[in-house]
Structure 1
Amino acid sequence: MDPRNNPEKNMIFPEGSKNKFRNFVTSRCGLYFKDHDLGSLEDAIVERTKACGFDSVERYYTYLTYSSEKETEFRELLNLLTIKHTYFFRNEPQFKVLRERVLPEIIERKKRAPAALKPALRIWSAGCSTGEEPYSIAMAVADVIKDLDEWSVQIIATDASTSALEKSKAGIYGKSPIMLVDERHKKKYFIEQPGPGGRPQYAVCDTIKKMVHFSYLNLMDKKLPGGFDIIFCRNVVIYFELETTIKLMDRFHSSLADDGYLFIGYSESLQFISDKFRMENWKESVFYRKSREAAVPGGGVPSPAAGTVEEVIEEISKAELEAEKKVELKRHVTPPERIESLLVQIMKAFHLKRYDEALSLIDKAQAIDNSAVDTYYLAAEIYANQGKLDTAKERLQAVLELNELFTPAYYLFGSIYTEEGNLEKAEKNLKKALYLDADFALAYFSLATVYRKEGRVNEALRGYRNTLNVLLKDVPDAIIAYSGGFNSGTLISMCKNNIERLKKRIE
């Protein structure tokens, strides 16, 4: 069992310290831990606090931020925080696009260009984890370019985890990571050898290893490499805040050569993020291409990232309100049309963490319509985010007095009780939410989290799978009602990661 899943928490972890550590990690590397996922951050901090010989997390924080060893220690902490589960040719349709569409187009273009030197191909695997992705890219390149000696091929693979990079450079894997590698590629690009306990392991051949150059890189560093024909950054930005992701996509745009290609994760999207890339579809796969001119949004949900972060947040708030209105109509609740514009501004202030402004707008909305359940619910969300849990529960009680069938109130009650450690009450409220709405994905997810905290692994697995079943019925990347503005793709990725972690605990 991974010790991070169940550390010996025999030291006090002050509530205020969680936000302090969260903000520090986000500012340093972009990783952002939402409230319901703070447990994994806490586990990692406790583990490193003990490893460094400190008796309190506050002393560890001082060491992490001020000591002469702070850079080395931050990398050790990142080794625990980053998820390293991956495998060769993950999301095979994207590699099909790479082999059959993208690489042939780039090769043809490079061959036509006059050059005294060898034609060059530069590819960046950003967030390469333990190396399966960049080696898969190298194999795809070797499949397509038959005269490799006539080319200058550079595949740069970077990650912020030093332990992941060490494994990447070794290039030796067990059976699980190569499960999608067909026999032809296995024989061509791997060398089978005996591993620990006599179990077979597979070493990447020298031809492929020489094509990939591994290096430590924090994507929040001031300077990123450039001149790339292709960038892979898959299943990385799902752990970033919106503002961080917007800035990173702008930087990727600068790092790409003209007409360069960007591959992101299967469940990720540039909707609301950037209009500097145009989306392309080919044989069941989506990828992006650098636009020389920013696209002008037209029709559907705008993609306003060429503007300010506030404009992006406002568009997300509008989409979230639309999602909530659909849910309320399904429950035969009249949406508060008279205060709709105020609700958008409240949500926008909420997402930007301008809580005083949001509460002031709520007062204005309630002066117009004091029976609008949404305003009381939003106030409860704000107080919960501020850590004022008793006040949040008072607002939720007001919600239920207005409408005892308002399902999100039971969901938020469940989340608050989970935060307080009262898992029995959390489970009761989340089950009530699901009784009222069997398609409430967030309630399934939160209930699964309760089960995980209680060590009820099989029930937690079922809960995360139920979440996936609901989300996969919806439009891809739809904004989830009452979610705080994130889309279904994000929650799908979180479910899949939690399922993988839980499977390891029962293996």
Structure 2
Amino acid sequence: MQPKSKQESFASYRSLLSPDLSPEEFVLFRDHIAEQSGLFLDESKMDSLRISLLARATLHDFSSYLEYLDFMRESPGEFNELLSLITNNETSFFRYPGQFEALCALLPEIMARRATLDRRIRIWSAGCSTGEEPYSIAMCVLDYLGEDISWSLEVFGTDVSKRALAICESGVYDEKAIRSLEPRWHRYMERAGDKWRAGPLLKKTVSFGYHNLIKEPYPLSVMSDWDIIFCRNVTIYFKLESTRRVIKNFYQSLNPGGFLFIGHSETLRTISDDFASREVNGVFVYQKQEEPWAPGVKEISSQTRSRADEEPGTGEETVRQADTSFAELLRQATDEFEQGHIDQARPLLEAALSRQPDNADVNLILSYIYANEGQYQSAIDCCRKTLDVQPLSARAHYLLGVVYDKVGKPDDAEQEFKKTLYADPNFALAHLNLANIYRMQGKNDLARRAYHNAIDLLMQQPEGDWVEFLGGFMGDLVAETAKKGLAQVGRGAGKGRKQQD
């Protein structure tokens, strides 16, 4: 029996699959999509969702939307296909040119800050769709740098749509897409039959990866050290609470003095007070303030402030926690944390900590939360409490090293990463972070060795305690980051596995 064609399939099932989506079905799909991706579809998106569901359910010969929902829940690949239809991938090269002019105007400021470090500019395009934005960013900055080869540029594009990311990786665009490019940008592209393709310099400069902006926490060792973040017209799909979390994570991921670009019609006025707004050539951008870190002073995130400002509740939750055993509190907290429900995990952890202040597991999980919220002194304190009980905890040493590096204490960070490798020689991310420190110190031979170790482990042994610090990223993507670092120090002597000095 020959399989049905798409036309035959649609004809035979259209009488069974209703073209209408009931309000109850809309809520079920809306909530599942929000839970898995953070995208919140209000009622104005109901018809758009209905059209996408009709296309996918018909393709798979389902007779009801609820059958398709069950199928989608068990199939991450199908969820990504639906998400690709739902999300608006409308984009173009140099969309909103004024923002790119503002980018160029800010480059001298970024370069002045980086000149005494590693002469490297790092820009993240979050929600990059099919890649036109990150490629435009790269062309803009490369054009500004001109013949100055003493600077390197890294542009990283992320999205939740794997279909869009496939286009990004190919770098191939039709004439319609290229039509918006001024002739002076054509030198960065090359002909590919009747299409255009990103040229070698762009492909070398821009990399792509899957990332869900709602996933928490953002791994400091991967999603940090950015000078500029572009996230334009992406958070309009999120609930206000989700948007606030995303913006907070952007704040933590930026270097002091770094800039956030959002949509030209978007504002952070009711979302965050962490950033200072600046007008640059008629365009508003948001800057992370260069506040010195004060050891011993507990930092308070905006989420913590908002909780402190709330009116006290009835205390029923406190009573329930008092009636729960320590083991059950820890189990519940761990489950909530692993699902990314940070606000639910924190009070459970704090209740558990009040009973066993020196418990290593509780302190380690809290150190993750504090580190990713920018409460660095609290993170350090919790790491140290963990190490008091478990002095060979590779995870605690590694996280402590990441925090020290984040607050500008590279010597302390170096020692913690070495202790990580003493406890676990195969902890790939410790090799990578140690390599970055050596590169910054000009110790190129040690940096090369550490980069090689990191690359080998990321590619050949993609398992271990370090994986949880990737925040959902794939090891091969982090390996590409290591390869770029290796290219900066050269590929000469220093290759091969050897315990760090």
TM-score scaled by structure 1? Answer: 0.53
Structure 1 alignment gaps of length 5 or more: 196-200, 295-303, 313-507
Alignment of 1:179-190 (within 5 A): 179-186=179-186, 188-190=187-189
The one-letter code of the counterpart of 1:90 is R
Asked whether the 8 Å contact 2:256–2:291 carries over to 1, the reply is no
- 2:68 aligned partner: 60
The one-letter code of the counterpart of 2:97 is E
1:309 deviates by 8.7
1:305 deviates by 7.9
- 2:156 aligned partner: 156
Alignment of 1:106-121 (within 5 A): 106-111=110-115, 113=116, 115=117, 118-121=118-121
Is residue 74 from structure 1 mapped to residue 117 from structure 2 by the alignment?
Answer: no
- 2:100 aligned partner: 95
1:48 deviates by 1.6
The one-letter code of the counterpart of 2:17 is M
Return the match for 1:278 from 258, 268, 276: 276
Instruction: Indicate the SS of the match to 1:125.
Output: strand
- 2:122 aligned partner: 122
Asked whether the 8 Å contact 2:261–2:285 carries over to 1, the reply is yes
Instruction: Indicate the SS of the match to 2:271.
Output: coil
1:9 deviates by 8.0
How far apart, in 2, do the equivalents of 1:39 and 1:62 lie? 21
How far apart, in 2, do the equivalents of 1:292 and 1:110 lie? 14
1:161 deviates by 0.6
Asked whether the 8 Å contact 1:272–1:305 carries over to 2, the reply is no
Asked whether the 8 Å contact 1:159–1:216 carries over to 2, the reply is yes
How far apart, in 1, do the equivalents of 2:72 and 2:32 lie? 10
Q: Percent identity?
A: 35
Deviation digits for residues 447-469 of structure 1, max 9, x if unmatched? Answer: xxxxxxxxxxxxxxxxxxxxxxx
- 2:138 aligned partner: 138
- 1:27 aligned partner: 35
- 1:476 aligned partner: none
Deviation digits for residues 51-103 of structure 1, max 9, x if unmatched? Answer: 233221111111222x2xx221211111111111111111101100111x211
Is residue 191 from structure 1 mapped to residue 196 from structure 2 by the alignment?
Answer: no
Asked whether the 8 Å contact 1:273–1:305 carries over to 2, the reply is no
How far apart, in 1, do the equivalents of 2:132 and 2:16 lie? 37
* RMSD across aligned positions (CA): 2.6
The one-letter code of the counterpart of 1:86 is T
- 1:351 aligned partner: none
TM-score scaled by structure 2? Answer: 0.53
Asked whether the 8 Å contact 1:87–1:176 carries over to 2, the reply is no
Alignment of 1:325-364 (within 5 A): none
Deviation digits for residues 431-452 of structure 1, max 9, x if unmatched? Answer: xxxxxxxxxxxxxxxxxxxxxx
The one-letter code of the counterpart of 1:11 is L
1:193 deviates by 4.2
1:8 deviates by 5.6
Equivalenced residue count is: 284
How far apart, in 1, do the equivalents of 2:307 and 2:88 lie? 28
Instruction: Indicate the SS of the match to 2:122.
Output: strand
- 1:206 aligned partner: 200
The one-letter code of the counterpart of 1:222 is E
How far apart, in 1, do the equivalents of 2:76 and 2:130 lie? 21
Alignment of 1:370-449 (within 5 A): none
The one-letter code of the counterpart of 2:191 is E
1:123 deviates by 0.8
How far apart, in 1, do the equivalents of 2:139 and 2:307 lie? 39
Instruction: Indicate the SS of the match to 1:262.
Output: strand
How far apart, in 1, do the equivalents of 2:259 and 2:252 lie? 12
1:147 deviates by 4.6
Structure 1 residues 23, 293: CA separation in 2 closer, same or farther (over 3 Å shift)? farther
- 2:325 aligned partner: none
- 1:215 aligned partner: 209
Asked whether the 8 Å contact 1:261–1:288 carries over to 2, the reply is yes
Asked whether the 8 Å contact 1:190–1:204 carries over to 2, the reply is yes
Instruction: Indicate the SS of the match to 2:36.
Output: helix
Instruction: Indicate the SS of the match to 2:106.
Output: helix
The one-letter code of the counterpart of 1:50 is T
Asked whether the 8 Å contact 1:275–1:306 carries over to 2, the reply is no
Return the match for 1:48 from 41, 53, 56: 56
Structure 1 residues 109, 244: CA separation in 2 closer, same or farther (over 3 Å shift)? same
Asked whether the 8 Å contact 1:162–1:216 carries over to 2, the reply is yes
Deviation digits for residues 415-443 of structure 1, max 9, x if unmatched? Answer: xxxxxxxxxxxxxxxxxxxxxxxxxxxxx
Asked whether the 8 Å contact 1:79–1:161 carries over to 2, the reply is yes
Instruction: Indicate the SS of the match to 1:135.
Output: helix
How far apart, in 2, do the equivalents of 1:310 and 1:155 lie? 38
How far apart, in 2, do the equivalents of 1:104 and 1:151 lie? 12
Asked whether the 8 Å contact 1:158–1:214 carries over to 2, the reply is yes
Deviation digits for residues 232-252 of structure 1, max 9, x if unmatched? Answer: 000101111111101110111
Structure 1 residues 160, 106: CA separation in 2 closer, same or farther (over 3 Å shift)? same
The one-letter code of the counterpart of 1:190 is M
Deviation digits for residues 102-151 of structure 1, max 9, x if unmatched? Answer: 1111112211x2x4xx4222110000001000000100110122356433
How far apart, in 2, do the equivalents of 1:64 and 1:181 lie? 39
Instruction: Indicate the SS of the match to 2:49.
Output: helix
Where does structure 1 differ by over 6 angstroms across 4 or more consecutive aligned residues?
309-312
1:310 deviates by 12
Asked whether the 8 Å contact 2:16–2:63 carries over to 1, the reply is no
Instruction: Indicate the SS of the match to 1:142.
Output: helix
The one-letter code of the counterpart of 2:257 is D
- 2:471 aligned partner: none
- 2:241 aligned partner: 243
Is residue 261 from structure 1 mapped to residue 266 from structure 2 by the alignment?
Answer: no
Instruction: Indicate the SS of the match to 2:228.
Output: strand
How far apart, in 1, do the equivalents of 2:228 and 2:95 lie? 17
The one-letter code of the counterpart of 1:93 is G
Instruction: Indicate the SS of the match to 1:308.
Output: helix
